[in-house]
Amino acid sequence: MTEITAHHGLFKNTNLHVDDTGGSGRPVVLIHGWPLSGESWSEQVPVLAAAGYRVITYDRRGFGRSDKPKTGYDYDTLTDDLHSLLEELDLRDVTLIGFSMGGGEVARYFSRFGDERVRSVVFASAVPPYLLTSDDNPEGPLSADAAASMTAGLTADENEFYDGFTTDFFSVDGVLKVTEQQRQDAIALAKQSSKVAALAAMASFGSTDFRGDLPRVTVPTLVIHGDGDGTVPFEGSGARTHAAIAHSELVVIAGAPHGVNVSHADEWNRAVLEFLKK
């Protein structure tokens, strides 16, 4: 457990909470989804560490145990935070695994910093290439009305919003695919975020276009997604990301919701470990 300091953006001394298993294994950086924290990788960290990898998680600015500045929730700044992590820990030959919102930082990383430090990447239930439905993005799975409804719901009542959001996050066709305790754990993580950060980050993942970033991903790539994902639907996101990165591999987990790394942890972990061996 440590902290690194991001020295960019309006708030130039933003401390990011980092958990690092250490060791001499190849580094794997896990980038969490919205509105959670690095603790959401509890089903992955011990498994990856036991397989010999050095596993690093961090809490995105505004979330979890990291500082919560009022600005800096655009993807350029968030990706700069990721790069600060790689630089300060001097991580090389690294695999970046981005879940949901975290897939945006993975995509944007190549446009901003290239592949010098990166061995491979995983887009896990991830938001690229572009969520928002628009005239030039008709396949985008997030309508403007749905985005506005999410913003209004979180603004009005955080408790009610996170209760509904985590239910959908872990459900397929109205059936919860995790235990109630696992859902409550996710709510507790969500409530560690600042409301300012949660709203700004929601706007970012909903409206950022990564279609220009994906062709820059030159390293081995895995796209992994649940086919029952109602939060970031596969056809509008994972399927399109796989098509945009010609060399990518695809694993679709049957009957899995958005939070597939928890609901189908064993299957998810096996697929990622197999990819990491390559």
Q: Is 7 a catalytic residue?
A: no
Q: Is 163 a catalytic residue?
A: no
Q: Is 83 a catalytic residue?
A: no
C-beta separation of 29 from 56 below 8 A: yes
Q: Which of 125, 213, 229, 264 is catalytic?
A: 229
State the angle between helix axes of 75-88 and 102-113 in degrees (0 to 180), rounded to the nearest 10: 80
Q: Which of 125, 258, 263, 264 is catalytic?
A: 258
Cis peptide before 35 (omega within 30 of 0): yes
Q: Residues near 61 by Cβ (< 8 Å), separated by ≥ 6?
A: 6, 14, 16, 67, 68, 69, 72, 73, 77, 78, 81, 197
User: Residue holding tokens 């950022």?
Assistant: 208
Side-chain half-sphere CA neighbours of 108 within 13 A: 24
d(CA 139, CA 135): 9
The single-letter DSSP state of residue 38 is: G
Q: Which of 131, 148, 162, 134 is nearest to 229 (CA)?
A: 131
The helix (run of H) or strand (run of E) holding residue 56 is strand 54-58
**Amino acid of residue 250:** L
d(CA 27, CA 49): 10
Q: Which of 100, 193, 194, 204 is catalytic?
A: 100
Give catalytic residue positions. 100, 229, 258
